[in-house]
Amino acid sequence: MINKQTRFITATALVCALLLLFYSNLKPPVTVNTDLQQTVRAPLIQTSMPIRQIVENPLRNPVYSEVHFSTPNEHDQVPISESLRGTNIDGALQADKNGELILSIGVRDFFDYFLSTADEVGIEAAVDEIIRYASGYLPAPANQQALDLLRDYLEYKRFEYAIQQVPINGESLTDKATLSLLRESYQQLRQARAQRFSSAANQALFGLEDTYAEFTLSSLELGAIPDLTDVEKTQRVESLIASLPPELANEVRQERAQAQLERVRRQHINSDIDDSQLHQQLVEQGYTQSQADHVIRSRQQQQEFNRRYQQYQQARSLLDQNAANYGAEVAGLRQRSFVTPEEATQAALRDLGQARPN
């Protein structure tokens, strides 16, 4: 599926205010030999575009060269942060037989993998680890090219962060003004890339993401056209999907099918219909046996969670709200009441939407 590493999809801005304060003196590079350590400091934010997580295929690269040098897939020493322990390195820095850097989305994956630790270890340590791998595994030309590209990438991330500070109301994605703002911001990002990267680097690092972003914006814009019926909108979105590269089209279709399945699950959470009847109904509607099984299993899990949450609420109502350790008692009760950390988190989030019991 699309999520190669959940960490990168859910990552928020990496202590941006602190980084902005610490690295506010960033200046554009003037030569390829500019000291990277002095020029790449910038606030970072991880992209959440699903296309970033599609499994790499060298045939996608604008120019594919045989790999003669590469950074390893596994850490060659203890990882610099706890979050990286037990994981393999995403992407790679690679060079061809001439010692030139091979441009691919794997370069960006490699950068993002280490830069995602900036909130844990600091931007300096994250950048230093990238530099260490580049200098240790690449020949001189590719090493310098990778560091130059890293510098440009971090400068771009600072610009991207500034663009992303414009507040967008997620509930207004059918509003023309909101969509116009999204389109304008996207065009600004594309222009910033064109100014900072060669056409080859731009295509390798951002090409598939641009394709996905254009599809997403166009789909949202179709949804905002009042004169189109739902059937017409669906047909036009299907036409957009058909125009995508095959691997991306397949991912989008899977994502949409999964979203539809989730809507069905939510629709039937509190339904009076029993499991066997619902299963038969779903199969008759065209869902596969495994999809119907998934809905039933998810519904059972959610219903069981709701039952335990009700018991938890009753027990919580007996606690002394005025006690100094009330918060700790609630946390302990929550931990005892729910089977998994995910359920405990779900309960805590549900608590946030409710007042304390009387």
> Is 288 found in the same domain as 157?
no
> Is 295 found in the same domain as 162?
no
> Is 162 found in the same domain as 288?
no
Residue 62 located in a structural domain = yes
Output the pLDDT for position 84: 92
pLDDT grade, residue 315 (50/70/90)?
very high
Q: Where are the beta strands (DSSP E) in the chain?
A: 69-70, 94-95
The distance in angstroms from the start CA to the end CA of the chain is 45
pLDDT in tens, 201-216: 999 999 988 898 899 8
Residue 256 located in a structural domain = no
pLDDT at 267 over 90: no
Give the whole-number percent of the chain exceeding pLDDT 90: 34
Residue 109 located in a structural domain = yes
CA 237 to chain centre: 23
Backbone angles phi, psi at 196, to 5 degrees: -100, -25
> Is 22 found in the same domain as 152?
yes
Residue 176 located in a structural domain = no
Mean pLDDT value of segment 62-82: 85
Pick the last residue of a domain from 136, 167, 198: 167
> Is 131 found in the same domain as 278?
no
Mean pLDDT value of segment 262-286: 82
Output the pLDDT for position 200: 93
> Is 134 found in the same domain as 10?
yes
pLDDT at 138 over 90: yes
Output the pLDDT for position 94: 96
Q: Which domain holds residue 43?
A: 6-167
Mean pLDDT value of segment 97-119: 93
Output the pLDDT for position 93: 96
Look at 8 and 162; give whichever has higher pLDDT: 162
The secondary element (H helix, E strand) that includes residue 180 is helix 176-196
Pick the last residue of a domain from 152, 167, 182: 167
> Is 34 found in the same domain as 153?
yes
48-52, 212-216, 253-257, 327-331, range with the lowest pLDDT: 48-52
Residue 55 located in a structural domain = yes
Residue 226 located in a structural domain = no
> Is 305 found in the same domain as 161?
no
Please state whether beta strands 69-70 and 94-95 pair in parallel, antiparallel, or not at all (unpaired).
antiparallel
> Is 25 found in the same domain as 149?
yes
Output the pLDDT for position 346: 84
> Is 163 found in the same domain as 284?
no
pLDDT grade, residue 194 (50/70/90)?
very high
pLDDT at 265 over 60: yes
Mean pLDDT value of segment 310-315: 92
Output the pLDDT for position 90: 93
Q: What is the DSSP annotation of 181-242? A: HHHHHHHHHHHHHHHHS-HHHHHHHHHHHHHHHHHHHHHHHHHT-TTS-HHHHHHHHHHHHH
pLDDT grade, residue 170 (50/70/90)?
low
Look at 29 and 164; give whichever has higher pLDDT: 164
Mean pLDDT value of segment 239-259: 88
pLDDT at 151 over 70: yes
Residue 197 located in a structural domain = no
Report the domain count for the chain.
2
> Is 302 found in the same domain as 158?
no
Mean pLDDT of the chain: 78
pLDDT at 61 over 50: no
Output the pLDDT for position 171: 57
> Is 158 found in the same domain as 16?
yes
Residue 276 located in a structural domain = yes
Look at 351 and 269; give whichever has higher pLDDT: 351
Pick the last residue of a domain from 167, 187, 206: 167
